[in-house]
Amino acid sequence: MRRFCSLASRASPFEKEQHCQTKLRVQKSAKVKSLTTPFARNPAAPSTGKNFKDPNLNPISITSAAVPKQNPRLHSKPIDHQYFTHILSRKDWYILLRQEFKARRVNLNCQSIISILQNQENPLLPLRFYIWVLSINPSFGKNQSIRGVLSNTLYRKGPVLLSAELVQDIRNSGSGITEDLLCVLIGSWGRLGLAKYCAEVYEQISYLGLSPSTRLYNAVIDALVKANSLDLAYLKFQQMQVDKCFPDRFTYNILIHGVCKVGLVDEALRLLKQMEGMGFAPNVFTYTILIDGFCTAKRVDEAFAFLEKMKEKNVTPNTATYRSLVNGLFRCLSPSEAFKLLSRWVDRELNLPKVACDAMLCCLSDSFLPREAAAFLRKCCQRGYAVDSSTFDVTMTCLIKGLDLEETCQLLDKFTELGTKVGLRTYLLIIEVLFSSGREEKGNQYLKQMLHDGLVRNVNSYNMLIDCFCKAKMIGLASEAFSKMHNREVMRLRRHKDCF
């Protein structure tokens, strides 16, 4: 108890923070009172156009590129996803959406389209909505974000099979099965492992009004590779020339990825040579796939050789390239051996790639090698490498659990002086260890810094702080933190009531 009393006699970090919080509340209160415009009292923007007449359905308001831009300060109503589910579930869904759009009750932009696609339980409904969107504005079909969300939705909630009823439903809407739509469907089937179904549908594309093309072949081959059906993928690759479709760089990259995934690196090199003979130079994706494949096959020397070959060909490695190399080495070798190889490579590199250092620190931390992680962290600091906040938190967690506490604190202080932002969990972990070991002064130093950085600002963070104090048996500080949280919550509710 004497320890608690001595702490209570000093001005605690919470008390020192109280004055700043009170001043901030006064400033916020003054700002609220100064709002005298009608929109301050009613933040909802006036609706443009007529409201939907059905009393069971709420009208929606979504910003459209076709409609003049509204004042960004005016808040639109949230999207009613049940409204769209109700319309898209009906047989006359296409006509209803057209009517709503003409009446400007349904407006389109990328964010609203993605939101509607993500919030439909029946996988058929987002497919219908996507078809209607393309009929309004075909340029949305080229948006990779929209296509990616639709593909993920069909994968998670599918499959959506191309039945005769679905084809007829699409045709009744005035649309048809386009090449874009079929590529999205084939991609979802491949991710679901429906390899034979992909091949069967492609054999019947003439009934859909489509002709074979390199793009469709690429979609089918990619789906077959994802479905782990490499034999069927090669069969389709051989059929391309029969249909007068010729492979391109995408075709070869897909096949190289497929053979590298199963460790057939020599076949990947054969495809690479054939690709270059066709006049297609390998790009960064080709090299990244090969580097990952060499690591999978435990041929690490060739992986480093291809990284150097990239530079000779003036192909700049990207984030995925460095991650594939680092993660691949830790995957195929023992962590200590991988660290030695990568350390020698880092020493030879004049321009240290930041993403490679991040990946190395994460792999060392996941492998629980605190000594090696601390040594590499010092090397990065000497070379002026600014550690990413999330990576630093992961590394510090490893060091706190496995390294000398004094050495860990020195590294933490050094990087905070350089401007590295430390996360709440890292602070709480080291504070708990310091308080438990009786180093209260150092623990209070980090506690003050954590409060100064504004990391304790809501109920969840206060709960984590209280839990930290209880684990360290600092019941006095835990009680003080609880009182502080309670007072802040009461003041927040009062401000909320005053606004009303």
> 3-state SS string over the chain?
CHHHHHHHHCCCHHHHHHHHHHHHHHHHHHHHHCCCCHHHHCCECCCCCCCCCCCCCCCCCCCCCCCCCCCCCCECCCCCHHHHHHHHCCCCHHHHHHHHHHCCCCCCCHHHHHHHHHCCCCCHHHHHHHHHHHHHCHHHHHCHHHHHHHHHHHHHHCCCCCCHHHHHHHHHCCCCCCHHHHHHHHHHHHHCCCHHHHHHHHHCHHHHCCCCCHHHHHHHHHHHHHCCCHHHHHHHHHHCCCCCCCCCHHHHHHHHHHHHHCCCHHHHHHHHHHHHHCCCCCCHHHHHHHHHHHHHCCCHHHHHHHHHHHHHCCCCCCHHHHHHHHHHHHHHCCHHHHHHHHHHHHHHCCCCCHHHHHHHHHHHHHCCCHHHHHHHHHHHHHCCCCCCHHHHHHHHHHHHHHCCHHHHHHHHHHHHHCCCCCCHHHHHHHHHHHHHCCCHHHHHHHHHHHHHCCCCCCHHHHHHHHHHHHHCCCHHHHHHHHHHHHHHHHHHHHHHHHHC
Helical packing angle, 124-136 and 144-157, nearest 10°: 160
CA-to-CA separations, 306 to 263, 298, 316, in angstroms, rounded: 16, 14, 12
Asked if the structure places residue 105 within a domain, the reply is yes
Please tell me the predicted confidence (pLDDT) of residue 492: 60
Half-sphere exposure of 28 (CA within 13 A, CB side): 13
Q: Which residues pair with 144 in a beta bridge?
A: none
Please tell me the predicted confidence (pLDDT) of residue 76: 54
Asked if the structure places residue 410 within a domain, the reply is no
Asked if the structure places residue 417 within a domain, the reply is no
Asked if the structure places residue 92 within a domain, the reply is yes
Asked if the structure places residue 96 within a domain, the reply is yes
**Cα distance from N-terminal residue to C-terminal residue, the chain:** 46
Q: Which residues pair with 44 in a beta bridge?
A: 75
Helical packing angle, 370-382 and 405-417, nearest 10°: 30
Please tell me the predicted confidence (pLDDT) of residue 418: 82
Asked if the structure places residue 481 within a domain, the reply is no
Asked if the structure places residue 447 within a domain, the reply is no
Cα 173 to chain centroid, rounded:
35
- The number of distinct structural domains making up the chain is 1
pTM of structure:
0.75
Please tell me the predicted confidence (pLDDT) of residue 351: 79
Asked if the structure places residue 409 within a domain, the reply is no
pLDDT in tens, 276-324: 999 999 999 999 999 999 999 999 999 999 999 998 999 999 999 999 9
Please tell me the predicted confidence (pLDDT) of residue 44: 36
The C-alpha torsion from 279 through 281 and 282 to 285, rounded to 10°, is -110
Ranges under pLDDT 50 in the chain: 1-12, 14-75, 496-497, 499-500
Please tell me the predicted confidence (pLDDT) of residue 73: 35
Parent domain of 142: 52-170
Token readout for 220 is: 């089918």
